């Protein structure tokens, strides 16, 4: 159930501006420093545990050591992750962007701070030991953790909690990519899902704060540097569209595999704490022959934009291995996201497409970089459901208009296909499986989160086996109702009684898990005071009046509209 609105009078506009700005600065600063520390700690572990390519090269004179580290580090790291979740986290699972979206959309707190900190710790460990997961999902949640602290502020600013969470998310993305505009849009496109001025201003401040800290103070390097002269042939834009469609199909297969691996592995390994260890062993065994599958794969991603870095067969094997291992690691319970693997898989698909087009088909092209980057963002945007964010990341990283337009074509066609055949994003499907379905809009998702059993009326009149019609008529008159609900000797619903029609079957009944969205749809053409709510075996729980359901629907719709149009 969504949180009740604050009935106290809000603060004055000037005070709200000051509170929002200070909150955005504080949250943005904390999230940015935390994101940088997160990345540096992962890098240290990668170097110390022989996961990073440079570290492996330095010890290549001791092949037995490299082999042992390749097998043992992800396996033992996975066991540690599973045990930490099992015994230290109240949630007993990794936390990520779906939890942030849920908290913002339904005005709920994030899972407890202990679970969040444990999830961040296991994310560092997962990435540090070479698991095939991403770093941006944990960074998003880490940024949201700092925003969650704003909920404790005793200030009467509407929607402050959700906006503060989004500030942390925007700062984390801006820090990770050196892309403040992309950080801003990601927070609105994926988390908030609206562009109200009340949220836009502070989220912008937080995103710029993260960028300044990362790019000005620490001078963080860009994810990749590309020298691109421009698209040489007009027909290549048709190739970018075809690439987007192909990437979408690959992204759909990847997301379906991610969703399927968890249940499959649960049937294979009964103990949840052991599943990450099994996935880690699979990563280690694969890495003996294909070390590029280890970890985030930043170096591999950069090589994908260089002509001749990979052969066709090597690219195909690496794509399949990365898809399978990422799905396995995420399904097993390693802490980490899917954005980084999506970037890598997409770039490899783009490089392979370019090789097939320019090599086998002999079509003159503008080089591998534009295809790798376009496919990278097309794949990632289909997975996370953020096409605008991915387009802006390209522009902010490359500062190249032509390569941004090319990527935009691939992103658009990728999202057209993936949205139609799969859904808006992997996050939305994960939320839908938890009962929060955004596929039909925010309004319906909010109504679907409200069970009708929370609206039961105290004034409902029941008629038991021992009650006479005269007694029930009197109670109906006192309550101002026109019908009573007839119960049998076991408390089950037997029908509906009215003085004019007597006892008749209940034309409509709600189950105890019926939500308000479904209830409103089922009430088309309904005539009566209320609808009974029953258990699975027909046991009477209570009744919800038509007026109360309409009022709840109007209240929720008004709150959403107010949030989407709020100003400072």
pLDDT digits (tens, 9 = 90+) for 423-459: 989 999 999 888 888 888 888 888 888 899 889 988 8
Segment 202-252, tens digit of pLDDT? 999 999 999 999 888 887 776 666 777 788 888 999 999 999 999 999 999
Whole-number pLDDT of residue 7: 44
Helices (H), 192-268: 197-211, 236-268
Q: What ranges do the domains of the chain cover? A: 13-224, 446-563
Instruction: Dump the DSSP string for 343-410.
Output: HHHHHHHHHHHHHIIIIIS----S-HHHHHHHHHHHHHHHHHT-HHHHHHHHHHHH--HHHHHHHHHH
CA gap 332, 95 in Å, rounded: 14
Instruction: List the beta bridge partners of residue 337.
Output: 134
Tell how many helices (H) and how many strands (E) occur in the chain.
Answer: 22, 7
Contact present, 84 and 92 (Cβ < 8 Å) = no
Whole-number pLDDT of residue 480: 84
Contact present, 133 and 127 (Cβ < 8 Å) = yes
Helices (H), 399-532: 401-421, 426-432, 442-448, 469-479, 516-522
Whole-number pLDDT of residue 2: 45
Contact present, 296 and 127 (Cβ < 8 Å) = yes
Calculate ∠ Cα 110-113-114, nearest 5°.
135
SS3 531: strand
Whole-number pLDDT of residue 302: 84
Count the helix, strand and coil residues of the chain and give each as a percent rounded to the nearest 5. Answer: 65, 5, 30
CA gap 147, 24 in Å, rounded: 9
Using left for φ > 0, alpha for ψ between -120 and 50, and beta otherwise, residue 435 falls in left
Assigned token pair, 266: 């649960």
Whole-number pLDDT of residue 257: 97
Whole-number pLDDT of residue 6: 47
CA gap 144, 101 in Å, rounded: 10
| Among 134, 298, 311, residue whose Cα is nearest residue 223 | 298
CA gap 508, 517 in Å, rounded: 15
- DSSP 8-state class, residue 463: E
Instruction: List the beta bridge partners of residue 502.
Output: 498
pLDDT-flagged residues of the chain (< 50)? 1-7
SS3 560: helix
Element (H, E) at 155: none
Phi, psi (rounded to 5 degrees) for 482: -110, -5
Angle, helices 387-398 vs 160-177, to 10°: value is 40
Instruction: List the beta bridge partners of residue 510.
Output: 533
Computed over every residue of the chain, the mean pLDDT equals 89
The domain made up of 13-224 is a member of CATH 1.10.3080.10? yes
What CATH superfamily classification does 446-563 receive? CBS-domain (3.10.580.10)
pTM of the model: 0.87
CA gap 526, 147 in Å, rounded: 45
Residue 40 CB neighbour total at 10 angstroms: 11
Whole-number pLDDT of residue 18: 87
CA gap 500, 521 in Å, rounded: 28
Instruction: Dump the DSSP string for 474-499.
Output: HHHHHHT-S-EEEE-TTSBEEEEEET
Going by C-beta distance under 8 Å and a sequence separation of 6 or more, which residues neighbour residue 34?
142, 143, 146, 172
Whole-number pLDDT of residue 161: 84
Instruction: List the beta bridge partners of residue 543.
Output: 532
Whole-number pLDDT of residue 129: 95
CA gap 52, 44 in Å, rounded: 9
Using left for φ > 0, alpha for ψ between -120 and 50, and beta otherwise, residue 214 falls in alpha
CA gap 331, 78 in Å, rounded: 12
CA gap 343, 325 in Å, rounded: 15
Whole-number pLDDT of residue 140: 94
Whole-number pLDDT of residue 299: 85
Residue 1 CB neighbour total at 10 angstroms: 11
Whole-number pLDDT of residue 363: 86
Phi, psi (rounded to 5 degrees) for 458: -75, -15
């Amino acid at each position: 159930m969504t949180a009740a609105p604050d009935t106290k009078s809000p603060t004055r506009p000037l005070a709200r501006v000051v509170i929002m700005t200070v909150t955005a600065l504080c949250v943005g600063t904390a999230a940015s420093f935390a994101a940088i520390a997160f990345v540096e700690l992962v890098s240290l572990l990668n170097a110390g545990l022989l996961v990073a390519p440079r570290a492996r090269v330095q010890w290549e004179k001791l092949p037995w050591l490299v082999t042992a580290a390749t097998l043992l580090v992800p396996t033992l790291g996975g066991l540690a992750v599973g045990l930490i979740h099992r015994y230290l986290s109240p949630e007993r699972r990794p936390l990520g962007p779906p939890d942030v979206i849920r908290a913002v959309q339904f005005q709920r707190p994030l899972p407890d701070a202990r679970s969040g900190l444990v999830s961040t710790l296991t994310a560092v460990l997962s990435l540090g030991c070479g698991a095939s997961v991403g770093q941006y999902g944990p960074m998003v949640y880490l940024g949201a953790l700092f925003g969650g602290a704003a909920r404790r502020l005793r200030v009467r600013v509407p929607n402050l909690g959700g906006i503060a969470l989004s500030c942390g998310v925007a700062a984390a993305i801006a820090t990770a990519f050196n892309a403040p505009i992309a950080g801003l849009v990601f927070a609105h496109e994926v988390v908030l899902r609206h562009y109200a001025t009340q949220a836009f201003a502070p989220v912008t401040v937080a995103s710029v704060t993260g960028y300044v800290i990362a790019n000005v103070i620490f001078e963080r390097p860009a994810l990749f540097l590309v020298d691109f002269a421009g698209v040489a042939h007009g027909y290549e834009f048709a190739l970018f569209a075809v690439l987007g469609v192909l990437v979408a199909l690959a992204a759909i297969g990847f997301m379906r595999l991610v969703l399927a691996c968890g249940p499959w592995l649960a049937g294979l390994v009964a103990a949840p704490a052991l599943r990450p260890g099994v996935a880690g062993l699979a990563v280690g065994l694969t890495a003996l022959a294909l070390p590029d599958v280890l970890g985030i794969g930043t170096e591999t991603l950069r090589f994908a934009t260089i002509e001749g870095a990979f052969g066709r067969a090597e690219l195909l094997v690496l794509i399949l291995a990365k898809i399978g291992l990422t799905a396995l690691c995420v399904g097993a319970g390693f802490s980490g996201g899917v954005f980084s693997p999506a970037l890598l898989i997409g770039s490899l698909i783009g490089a392979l497409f370019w090789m097939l087009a320019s090599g086998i088909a002999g079509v003159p092209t503008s080089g591998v970089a534009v295809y790798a980057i376009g496919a990278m963002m097309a794949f990632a945007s289909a997975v996370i459901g953020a096409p605008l964010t991915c387009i802006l990341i390209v522009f902010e990283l490359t500062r190249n208009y032509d390569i941004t337009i090319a990527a935009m074509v691939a992103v658009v066609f990728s999202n057209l296909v993936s949205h139609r055949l799969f859904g808006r994003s992997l996050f939305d499907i994960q939320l839908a499986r938890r009962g929060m379905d955004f596929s039909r809009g925010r309004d319906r998702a909010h109504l679907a989160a409200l069970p009708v059993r929370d609206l039961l009326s105290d004034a409902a009149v029941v008629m038991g086996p021992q009650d006479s019609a005269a007694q029930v008529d009197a109670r109906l008159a006192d309550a101002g109702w026109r019908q009573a609900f007839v119960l049998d000797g076991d408390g089950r619903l037997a029908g509906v009684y009215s003085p004019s029609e007597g006892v008749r079957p209940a034309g409509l009944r709600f189950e105890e898990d019926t939500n308000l969205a479904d209830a409103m749809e089922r009430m088309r053409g309904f005539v009566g005071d209320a609808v009974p709510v029953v258990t699975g075996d027909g046991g009477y729980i209570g009744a919800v009046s038509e007026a109360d359901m309409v009022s709840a629907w109007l209240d929720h719709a008004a709150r959403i509209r107010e949030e989407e149009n709020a100003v400072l």
